[in-house]
Structure 1
Amino acid sequence: MKWSHVALNCRDLDATEEFYRRWFGFERAHSFPAGGSRIVFLRRGDAYLELFQASDGPPGGDGPTAAGTLRHLALQTGDVDRVLAGMGSHAQVTLGPMSFDEFIPGWRTVWLTDPDGTVVEVSQGFRSTP
């Protein structure tokens, strides 16, 4: 298991992306359509930020949606199913497992909560592509 990323909810995706690019040296690694919006991954070395368009709606299975809040934190594994099996009943799944092969072949993710309700994404197969 290794660290993957932190997901942030943003009022303005473009302004938030520009902030982290200009002041902290992040570069765009990926951008994917998501409903009527998009998800943007920024990268600086091994550090990733995942940016979501904020909404006033209720929290989803992947975390809260309000602007300025942490949506979820994410860890990378070689096998999502093995992690879930190892956790047994301690895996309080809120969403998934889901496949994102249409964006990156082999990318698969599940979201669950820790004891305090923080959403934790456990993902396999995510990688930067040129």
Structure 2
Amino acid sequence: MARRLKKIMTLDDLDKFIKRSNKKPVFIFKHDEVVSESEEAYQQYLQFVEESEEDVLFTMVDVRECVEISEEIEEKLEISHEVPQLMLIMDEEVVWDDQKNNITFDNLIEVVDEYISI
């Protein structure tokens, strides 16, 4: 796992990252290693995390290990559950999300250009 990628393991972790989105953007990736699309998206996300120079927090949650966290994301951020799923949180709100084969390195560069880069 990339050094900059933080794993969300508890509800407190989730709350902390959502609050931190008031200061800097936070990506949350929902992953299920037994879903082939999820593994492909995860590899794209990892490449992006490793190559990105943006001041962003990169996180992930394993939906099999942490079902409660996945459900809390859905409820707290008012977003429907998908796997794989990647969302960008700013000011405690989802400003962008996508799922499945749309999670690619190139698409993530476009997201950063649109929502984060000045």
TM-score (norm 2): 0.31
Q: Which has the higher contact order (CA 8 A, sep 6+)?
A: 2
TM-score (norm 1): 0.29
Larger radius of gyration: 1
